[in-house]
Amino acid sequence: MRLNSFDEWSPLREVVVGSAENYVSHERELSFDLFFHDNLVQDNPSRRKPSTTDLSAAPPCRSEWYYPRLKTRRGGSGRQRLPVAQRYVDELNEDLEGLADTLSSLGVTVHRPLPLPPDTAEVTTPAWSASVVPPLNIRDNTLIVGDEIIETPPMIRSRYFETQLLKPLFQAYFSRGARWSVMPRPLMTDASFDLSYVRTATAGGPTEPVGEPRPSPWDVGVEMMFDAAQCLRLGRDIVANVSTEHHALAVSWLERHLVGRFRVHRVHQLSDSHIDSMVLALRPGLLLVRSAAVADALPPALRRWDRIVAPTPRRNDFPRYEDDALILTSPFIDLNVLSVAPDTVLVNEASPELIRTLEEAKFTVVPVRHRHRRLFGGGFHCFTLDTVREGGPEDYFT
């Protein structure tokens, strides 16, 4: 079918489901630490969040309830590979197959990216090298706006060439008439990074020390960097989260590129980057939000929509991990549901209270197994890229 995806809820026809094949490690280096700084905390008991009741009081811009296990990386220059246990990768792949099968059984055509080959350990540019992770959270690096594929400029070095693994699919949509754009790629030296959010905007101060940038002959100053998962797509309107200078530059690019076709609305520091564990649109007039404060920070048109506030997750909803397991998301990650129609949502079966809440709101909930979402950074919305939905460029704002 032709590429057509304008919103997050209309009947889903085609989707890409991410792949975790050959996930072996995370690499801690400047771009990784900056991106996940809100989730990575040192082993400092004073920062522990002991009870779930703290969660509901948490400010909207900050993840809470960390597993405070990460030790500070020594020295500014170090790259450090942190292995991911094979058992979790195997279970993740099992859960991804289950997700793909569920979508197929609902009549949705499922595409998969090329798997990361086993020996593709590194990506190297003139300015740096980094180890590569598989195309798992494929929501992040590609924005589908209507009939256009836009590859967004990544914030993590390990993910620099991730969209190359979607090439055959993008070529196929292109041959059927899709537009296809790639946003300017950052040189991404240490000096490219805007550290202000980490230094000032994190509630309670930085949770993780960020080393001083090292000089490089490729330095060009702060650059455009942005993930598609910072956007909420609502017909002819797009809400984009801006927390850093990188995002501000990228949203200006998007606005100029889409002028006359889409209206871009900025929200500021709704989260550090992605917004799909803060707010999702379930259908015209109804949002799923992490808290009332999140809904109140949205553009005026969306503040008038009804909202379902997701129930506070419980500790028992999650597996227990060894002390060296690196936790990449907040416990609100299961809010990250995938709509297959305005009345039907795929929800993590490990979140019974969220399922109940959505069923009470008259949704058909399809429970799907997903165990290690906190280890791999994403829920069902993150792991998928909806390329064909029935909805069009409707104006839901006026």
Ligand X SMILES: NC(=[NH2+])NCCC[C@H](N)C(=O)O
- Asked whether the beta carbons of 281 and 232 are under 8 A apart, the reply is yes
Least gap, CB of 383 to ligand X (angstroms) = 8
Residue 192 interacting partner from ligand TYR, ligand X, none (CB closer than 5 to 8 Å by kind): none
Residue nearest to ligand TYR (CB): 377
User: Quick one: tokens of 368?
Assistant: 């799907």
- In angstroms, give the least distance from the CB of 137 to ligand TYR: 5
The helix/strand/coil state of 272 is coil
241 binds, among ligand X, ligand TYR, none (CB under 5 to 8 A by kind): none
Site membership for ligand TYR, residue 36 (CB under 6 A): yes
Question: Using an 8 Å Cβ cutoff, are 185 and 213 in contact?
Answer: no
Shortest distance, position 159 Cβ to ligand TYR, whole Å: 10
Sequence-ordered strand ranges (E) for the chain: 12-17, 25-28, 80-83, 109-111, 122-124, 129-131, 142-145, 148-151, 179-182, 231-234, 237-242, 263-268, 279-283, 286-289, 306-309, 338-341, 344-348, 364-368, 384-389
Q: Is 168 left (phi over 0), alpha (psi -120 to 50) or beta?
A: alpha
- Which of 10, 63, 244, 344 touches ligand X by CB under 6 A? 63
**Cβ(155)–Cβ(226) below 8 Å:** yes
231 a catalytic residue: no
302 lies in the site for ligand X, by CB under 6 A: no
Q: Does 162 bind ligand TYR (CB under 6 A)?
A: no
Within residues 20-49, the interface with ligand X by CB under 6 A covers 39
Residue 186 DSSP symbol: P
Which of these segments, 69-77, 135-143, 165-173, 295-303, binds ligand X (CB under 6 A)?
A: 135-143
Among 382, 385, 387, 391, binds ligand X (CB under 6 A): 382
The catalytic residue among 265, 274, 372, 381 is 274
Q: Which of 3, 178, 328, 368 binds ligand TYR (CB under 6 A)?
A: 328
Q: Cα(first)–Cα(last) distance of the chain, in Å?
A: 30
Rounded to a whole number of angstroms, the minimum distance from the CB of residue 174 to ligand X is 24
Distances (CA, A) of 158 to 25, 32, 36, 122, 135: 11, 8, 13, 8, 11
Per annotation, catalytic residue among 227, 272, 276, 334: 227
Instruction: Tell me the three state secondary structure of residue 280.
Output: strand
Nearest one of 17, 7, 11, 13 to 384, comparing CA atoms: 17
For residues 106 and 1, give the distance between their C-alpha atoms in angstroms, rounded to a whole number: 17
* Residue number with CB closer to ligand X (251 or 333): 333
- Per-residue contact flags (x/-) with ligand TYR for residues 126 to 145, judged by CB under 6 A: -----------x--------
38 lies in the site for ligand TYR, by CB under 6 A: yes
Cβ contact 133:21 at 8 Å: no
State residue 222 phi and psi, 5-degree precision. Answer: -60, 135
Token pair listed for 202: 């994190």
Q: Put residue 235 in one of left, alpha, beta given phi > 0 → left and psi -120 to 50 → alpha.
A: left
Task: State in angstroms the smallest separation of the CB of 359 from ligand TYR.
Answer: 27
Residue 184 identity (one-letter amino acid): P
63 contacts ligand TYR (rule: CB under 6 A): yes
Which listed range, 175-183, 267-275, 297-305, 384-392, lies at the site for ligand TYR (CB under 6 A)?
267-275
Does position 91 interact with ligand TYR (CB under 6 A)? The reply is no
Select from 4, 31, 152, 330 the one that contacts ligand X (CB under 6 A).
330
Among 241, 273, 348, 387, binds ligand TYR (CB under 6 A): 273
377 binds ligand TYR (CB under 6 A): yes
Q: Is 239 in the site for ligand X (CB under 6 A)?
A: no
Q: Which residues bind ligand X (CB under 6 A)?
A: 39, 63, 137, 139-140, 229, 274, 276-277, 329-330, 332-333, 377-378, 382
Q: Which residues bind ligand TYR (CB under 6 A)?
A: 36, 38-39, 63, 137, 271-274, 277, 328-329, 377-378, 382
Catalytic residues: 227, 274, 382
